[in-house]
């Protein structure tokens, strides 16, 4: 995809507005970030941060998590939703880490995605934020939505969105750029009612998704099938 002419200015404005932004998940090492990111699926970061202190106190490393009782893990992560599957993935991840990597979280995309419960998004989060070795732009719902609205991609599949962003965004920004979009998506460019009037990049934004939505809302009642 060809880079939009305003890309440099877009990056400049976002970086100035969110220069101190970082992942909202609390962690102290790669193991804790892997666990927190697995738990964050279909769950808010705030809820995950309430759960992980007790979880890490009980299972401070991959070895202890690998040997833990699955019922105990389920109980500790229950409030994050889909807790049985998450507990299974957490223990499977820990067991594989112990068996294959000596208890240390690996630092390559290939090795991370081979672990239970870890896809490209989680792997990118861990590599960029825990190891400082970004392998690609993290694409969550905020990044996917804002990237489309800003005209940085025409794709809806996260893997294809990541491919477009990796080609457009300089690698030095691969870790920070998702944080900028996530915070902007939460504070300003929300899904249902974006606050374009106070958006720092409004003049650079083609508002692609919003134009499509507005066009569909102007269809006549007869064309909608409304009597």
Q: What is the pLDDT of residue 224?
A: 36
SS3 (DSSP) at 7: helix
DSSP state of 41: T
pLDDT of residue 1: 56
What are the tens digits of pLDDT across the range 17-55? 998 889 999 999 999 999 999 999 999 999 999 999 999
Residues 6+ apart with CB under 8 A from 202: 196
Count the alpha carbons within 13 Å of 11 in the hemisphere toward its beta carbon: 17
Reply yes or no on whether 121 is catalytic.
yes
121, 144, 164, 207: the catalytic one is: 121
- 68: pLDDT confidence band, cut at 50, 70 and 90? very high
Domain spanning 7-20+138-209 has what CATH number?
1.10.1670.10
Domain pair 7-20+138-209 / 30-129, same fold: no
Task: Please state the domain extents for the chain.
Answer: 7-20+138-209, 30-129
222 has a pLDDT exceeding 80: no
- Count of alpha carbons within 13 Å of 128, Cβ hemisphere only? 24
Check if 72 is active-site: no
Q: Which fold has domain 30-129?
A: Endonuclease III; domain 1 (1.10.340)
∠ CA 196-200-202, rounded to 5°: 45
Catalytic residue among 75, 88, 140, 163: 140
Determine the Cα–Cα distance for residues 206 and 149; give it in Å rounded to an integer.
7
Q: What is the pLDDT of residues 159-185, one digit of tens each?
A: 999 999 999 999 999 999 999 999 999
pLDDT digits (tens, 9 = 90+) for 130-168: 999 999 999 999 999 999 999 999 999 999 999 999 999
Contacts of 214 by beta carbon, 8 Å cutoff, 6+ apart: none
Mean pLDDT of the chain: 91
In residues, how long is the chain? Answer: 227
Q: What is the pTM of this model?
A: 0.84
> What is the reported pLDDT for 2?
55
pLDDT band at residue 208 using 50, 70 and 90 as cut-offs: confident
Quick one: what percent of the chain has pLDDT higher than 70? 91
């Amino acid at each position: 995809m060809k880079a939009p002419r305003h890309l440099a200015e877009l990056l400049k404005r976002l970086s100035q507005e969110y220069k101190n932004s970082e992942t909202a998940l609390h962690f102290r090492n790669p193991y804790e970030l892997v666990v927190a990111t697995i738990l964050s699926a279909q769950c808010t970061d705030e809820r995950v941060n309430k759960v992980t202190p007790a979880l890490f106190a009980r299972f401070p490393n991959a070895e202890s998590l690998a040997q833990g009782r699955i019922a105990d893990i389920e109980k500790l992560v229950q409030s994050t939703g889909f807790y049985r599957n998450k507990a299974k993935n957490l223990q499977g991840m820990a067991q594989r880490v112990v068996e294959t990597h000596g208890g240390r979280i690996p630092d390559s995309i290939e090795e991370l995605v081979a672990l239970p419960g870890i896809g490209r998004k989680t792997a990118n989060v861990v590599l960029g934020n825990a190891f400082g070795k970004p392998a690609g732009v993290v694409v969550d719902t905020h990044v996917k939505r804002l990237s489309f609205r800003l005209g940085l991609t025409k794709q809806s599949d996260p893997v294809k969105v990541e491919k477009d962003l990796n080609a457009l965004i300089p690698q030095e920004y691969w870790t920070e750029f998702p944080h900028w979009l996530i915070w902007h998506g939460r504070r300003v460019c929300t899904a249902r009612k974006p606050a374009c009037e106070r958006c720092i990049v409004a003049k650079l934004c083609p508002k692609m998704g919003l134009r499509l939505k507005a066009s569909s809302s102007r269809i006549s009642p007869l064309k909608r099938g409304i009597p």
